[in-house]
Amino acid sequence: MIIVGVDTGGTFTDFIYKKDGKWGVYKLLSTPHNPAEAVLKGLDYILEGKPGNITHGSTVATNAILEKKGANTALITNKGFEDVIDIGRQNRKKLYDLYYQKNKPLVSSTMRFGLDCRVNSNGEVLKEVDLLQLEEIAEKLKIAEAESVAVCFLFSFLNRKHEKIVGDYLREKGFHCCLSSEILPEFREYERLSTTVINAYVSPKMDRYISHIKDNLTEGSKLRIMQSNGGVISAEVAMSESVRTILSGPAGGAVGAFEIGKMAGFDKLITFDMGGTSTDVALINGELPLTVESEIDGFPVKVPMIDIHTVGAGGGSIAYKDDGGALRVGPISAGADPGPICYGKGEQITVTDANLYLGRLIPDHFLGGAMKLDREKLNFYFDKLSKEFGLTTVELAEGVLEVANTNMERAIRVISVERGYNPSDFTLFSFGGAGGMHAAFLAKLLHIPRVFVPRNPGILSAIGMILSDIIKDYSKTVMLKEALSFNELKTYFADLKEQGINDLLNEGVERENISLELYLDMRYLGQSYEIIVPFTEDYVNTFHEYHKRLYGYANYEKPIEIVNLRLRARGKMEKPKFEKKATKVADIDKNAILSETDVIFGGKTVKSKVIDRDLLLYGNKFDGPAIVIEYSSTIVIPPEATVEVDAFENLIIHV
């Protein structure tokens, strides 16, 4: 069966595939009006009517929330608690902004319904569900044409009886229904409610999207979907638990960077994924960083995700003059349509246009020559905008790149400096179609000594998807206010273990390929928030060590509290092997240097080598300035930087 990894981005849809024993890559412009069009077009080209084993990272759930184009969603909760979704937490994102307003909830006040039932904080039923009331609410849902219903009752993580009654009734009536006890059986009612509402809001759209792709696949094909936690799940699970796919594309990139970096001997990485629309960064300190405190568009999402920070800076980010007369770049993007000016349809200068104007892109070698860039078309637009600023066109182009680099530098500081990490202790792992043009400059700004550029960096997120395992996350609130013995606490995981094993067996994983990872959410008694620690025999000291690493101190005398149990069930997948070269070759093949071109660095035009990456070999070394071209990306090597090719044919740039 042909193996395929697919990543849908804002500008390009990327594919990596193994066919007839050989690996291949493919890129084509995304179709924002219907992302499935580009996916199916690429799969048709690759599969040629044969069945495929496909892993797909989708932006459908993310875009549905950001664009407010999800399902017409209703909420059923306890009577008197209908407005919890509006009240939320009393945190102000912008403390001194007198005009600050939170985003409107995804469920309007007219679509929220209260049911007069109650379970107490011990999980005991105080008042049963009134079926007559439930029938009345169902009639109102029909009149309101609700497409999806979120059900979230107080303390349902302790006793899910009422949610199950409501869910069974509504599903029998034909409603798409999401229960908080199925999506997130944990305490903190607002976060649980928000996560359930988001799932209800995006699931119908994801269901239609995935069903459309499945219906158009060759018979015998398998489709799995990348999750935000760095693992994959079946298409069927993704349709019902779509909230788990919100960061699926960026998560694929983080997994790919982690696996390839580890293979090459680098386990301390700052990942830098610059695509056409946005830039995603993450800090990997020996392991993938997971968090359960993510937000999307201001709404909490408490399912486990790889800790990724995103900014609106990509190759398609538009440059403009703001109301104060300053040069701004992004977050608005030209996307795939109309795209940058040099693609032929755009009329606003983008980061990609600035790179081309300065000679850092080679027009005839973009996408392996499959897509020619129009350099001449840029002159009119650069002349026009540069006059508005009183700059030369070169100053404008370099200014666009400097502003974009500053935006991305700020993002990297958020995940490193602001969390107590020194960027110079890490390697900058660059990927994404546009990453190679900016990575060396960012590394210099942040005093990062080296940049790691893998093979085919423009499709690394797709590569990460076929390097991922099947992963299912489970949690249970226990609120234990004292430390139990290791063996006693282990018994609390029994039902989670059983569920994890059964779910992976249903996903088609062999029992010998299933492993279970156990974690605890712990805090000092009286604290408001907890941290996730591995469940070890000496888990109390493990917690103290983690707390000290995160916050600089540990209180060994203070009692601890175990809030949640977490289980990660992992189904090992067969993964591609990467060939490690054995023989070093010192001299670069003369055919690898295609030509010389004029490139502008710091206002000066410098003759720079144009190098074909496909002809570089293990052991090759060369100095900048140079432009390294390959099918999926272009890598800019500034003056004074040096490059070496490692045994896996990754580029290591020393800046």
Our CA angle for 73, 76, 77, nearest 5°, is 135
Please give the Cα distance from 622 to 608 (Å, whole number): 12
Tokens read off for 509: 């994983």
Give first-to-last CA distance, the chain, whole Å.
43
Length of the chain: 655
Tally the C-alpha atoms within 13 A of residue 254's C-alpha that lie toward its C-beta: 30
Q: Which residues are 13's β-sheet partners?
A: 8, 28
Helices (H), 301-392: 351-357, 378-389
Helix/strand/coil for 37: helix
- Provide the CATH number for the domain formed by 66-206 in this structure: 3.40.1360
Instruction: Answer whether the bond into residue 331 is a cis peptide, omega within 30°.
Output: yes
pTM: 0.89
In this structure, are residues 448 and 270 in contact, taking their beta carbons and an 8 Å threshold? yes
Q: Which helix (H) or strand (E) holds 628?
A: strand 626-629
Residue whose structure tokens are 């979230």: 152
Ordered by start, the domain boundaries in the chain are 66-206, 470-571, 590-654
For the CA atoms of the chain, what is the radius of gyration? 26
Phi, psi dihedral angles at 59 (to 5 degrees): -100, 5
Please give the Cα distance from 323 to 411 (Å, whole number): 24
pLDDT for res 247: 87
Please give the Cα distance from 79 to 75 (Å, whole number): 11
Please give the Cα distance from 570 to 473 (Å, whole number): 9
- For domain 470-571, give the fold: Dna Ligase; domain 1 (3.30.1490)
Q: Which helix (H) or strand (E) holds 440?
A: helix 439-446
> In 3D, which of 611, 439, 633, 651 has the Cα closest to residue 27?
633
> In 3D, which of 61, 66, 468 has the Cα closest to residue 229?
468
Helix/strand/coil for 633: coil
pLDDT for res 277: 81
Q: For the chain (length 655 residues), average pLDDT per consecutive 10?
A: 88 89 88 90 94 91 86 97 92 83 91 96 95 96 96 96 97 96 94 96 94 92 94 93 90 94 95 90 93 88 92 90 91 84 92 96 86 91 94 96 95 92 96 94 96 94 92 94 91 96 92 96 93 94 92 92 96 86 91 95 95 95 95 93 96 96
Beta strand segments in 241-340, E: 268-274, 279-285, 290-291, 294-296, 299-301, 305-306, 309-311, 317-321, 327-333
pLDDT for res 37: 93
Please give the Cα distance from 55 to 224 (Å, whole number): 5
Please give the Cα distance from 17 to 563 (Å, whole number): 43
DSSP strand pairing (232-234 vs 222-226): antiparallel
Which letter, b or e, does each residue of 135-159 get, where b requires 16 or more Cβ atoms within 10 Å of its Cβ?
eebbeebeeeebbbbbbbbbbbbbb
pLDDT for res 393: 95
Helix/strand/coil for 320: strand
Starting at the earlier edge strand, list the strands of the sheet with 2-8: 22-29, 12-19, 2-8, 52-57, 222-226, 232-234, 470-480, 560-571, 514-524, 531-534
Q: Which helix (H) or strand (E) holds 583?
A: none
Please give the Cα distance from 555 to 417 (Å, whole number): 25
Assign residue 286 a region: left if phi > 0, alpha if psi is -120 to 50, beta otherwise?
Answer: left
Write the CA distances from 389 to 201, 317, 322, 324, 326, integer angstroms: 44, 19, 11, 12, 8
Please give the Cα distance from 397 to 406 (Å, whole number): 14
Instruction: Collect all residues with Cβ–Cβ distance below 8 Å to 650 and sequence separation of at least 6.
Output: 260, 264, 452, 453, 454, 455
At residue 638, what is the residue type?
P
pLDDT for res 354: 96
